[in-house]
Amino acid sequence: MAYRSSDKTRKKKDTKRTSMMQAAVRVFAEKGYHAATVRDVVQAAEVAIGTFYFYFPDKETLFVHLYEETADFLMQTIGQAVVGRPSFSQKVYAGLSAYMNIAIYEPAVVQLLLVGGVGTVPSLTAKRRAFRLKLIQMWQQILDNAVHQSVIISQNTRRTAEAITGAVDEVVLQLLEYPDSEERVETAVHELAAFVLRAVGYNEIIE
């Protein structure tokens, strides 16, 4: 019985932590890092302020944890979308589609990754750099394989991967400005995929 009670308590604690993290994403996206307060987060999560301090010593620590988990979620989602796709063009489309759909249906997540805390949370600098590097390396691996298979022209795949990563972010940020962004996302994915394929010298006939 003691083990069951302990397991139940742990699950309850995990639920409270998850609730606070989900609430914090919305609060930071709506108010920005500086304006958001610990009280805003606990009110949105409907937990006591003491519960917050049980898990996090301060707002900055919460923000960094939130950023790490959000970045991991995005990378896993894109990775799962890409893996198993047989062709280069399908990998490009799947990766872009996964990212942009998260941006449209979970805009607070992308706002946190692209905008939140920029220049305001010193401890986040290295985390942000690591996340960006993972995105670049993901695209570079796809490009390297395509060059090896002669599906695209030989090129500096690292530089191309950097350019793709930046271009996707810009399109996402612009798309979120439209009130009807959900209706535009499919077209945006197709247009961005076409842009990437042209830019890398994709040879559809070979593939």
Q: Do 77 and 44 belong together in one domain?
A: no
My answer on whether 166 and 134 are in the same domain is: yes
Return the CATH number at 75. 1.10.357.10
Query: 0.85 exceeded by the pTM?
Result: no
Q: What is the pLDDT of residues 120-179, one digit of tens each?
A: 677 778 888 888 999 999 999 999 999 999 999 999 999 999 999 999 989 988 988 888
User: Could you read off the pLDDT of 19-56 as tens digits, one per residue?
Assistant: 888 888 888 888 888 888 999 999 998 988 999 999 99
Verify that 45 and 77 share a domain, yes or no: no
> With contact defined as beta carbons under 8 Å apart, do 97 and 47 qualify?
no
H runs (alpha helix) in 32-156: 38-45, 49-55, 59-82, 88-105, 107-114, 125-148
pLDDT of residue 7: 53
The CATH number of residue 6's host domain is 1.10.10.60
Domain identity same for 91 and 179? yes
What is the C-alpha to C-alpha distance for residues 182 and 165, in angstroms, rounded to an integer?
21
Domain that holds residue 44: 1-56
Angle between helices 59-82 and 2-31 (to 10 degrees): 90
